[in-house]
Amino acid sequence: MDPYTSLKLAELAIAFKNKGVIGFDLAGGEYNHPAKDHKDAFDLALKNNLNITIHAGEAYGTESIHQAIHYCGTHRIGHGTRLVEDGDLLNYVNDHRIPLEICIKSNFHTKAVENIQSHPIDFYIDYGLRVTINTDNRTISDTTVTDEYMLAINELGLDYQTVKNVILNGFKSAFLPYKERVRLINQTLKELDEIEESELKTRVTVKESL
């Protein structure tokens, strides 16, 4: 896609802001398609207070992440699988709480990681990055958000508390008004607490019946 087209798409997104459009995204092949080529489109989106997310650091290296942040002003990074290769940039992303939209199965399919077990999501979580779990392309990867969480649990060893934090990260990072995010976080915490309480009661009942 050429810069003229992306600028026209930004204008279209702005025209439908608050009419179903909540953000502006750049996705697709990163190699030889640098995000900075579309700076004018993102500048226009930012001037009109549109949320921005950019596909970066999956098929191409950390330079694509750097461009997404410092040239295009992205609020979230789609993938960021190769962020682990640049410690200084990783610290910047962490310090500025820029969310990573992690898509485990898709990253394996695109060969961004050699296998599921080598995915850096657990490192990112341990490091303190704001990680979210996503599908990327449900039909192509034949996956769901639930499937992605189960991969993280069964293949990468994420425990319950970690999964809970990642779920909350999703709401914290959502392109929604602040009050709506707070409401959803509180609602989710309540539901998770109820699940924990129910699980505890079940364990007690089973133990007493032995």
Other C-beta atoms lying within 10 Å of the C-beta of residue 47: 10
Helices (H) and strands (E) in the chain, counts: 10, 5
**How high is the pLDDT of residue 210?**
57
- With 0-12 CB in 10 A as exposed, 13-18 as middle and 19+ as buried, what is 175? middle
Res 191 pLDDT > 80: yes
Same domain assignment for residues 107 and 209 = no
At residue 28 the predicted structure's pLDDT band, cuts being 50, 70 and 90, is confident
- pLDDT at position 202 is 61
pLDDT of residue 199 exceeding 80? no
Q: For residues 87 and 153, state if they share a domain.
A: yes
Same domain, 32 and 125: yes
Same domain, 67 and 13: yes
Instruction: Mark whether 58 is an active-site residue.
Output: yes
Structural domain of residue 74, as residue ranges? 3-181
Whether pTM exceeds 0.85: yes
Q: For residues 12 and 74, state if they share a domain.
A: yes
CATH code of residue 165:
3.20.20.140
Q: Exactly one of 58, 114, 196, 197 is catalytic; which is it?
A: 58
pLDDT in tens, 94-112: 999 999 999 999 999 888 8
Q: What is the pLDDT of residue 203?
A: 57
Q: Same domain for 72 and 116?
A: yes
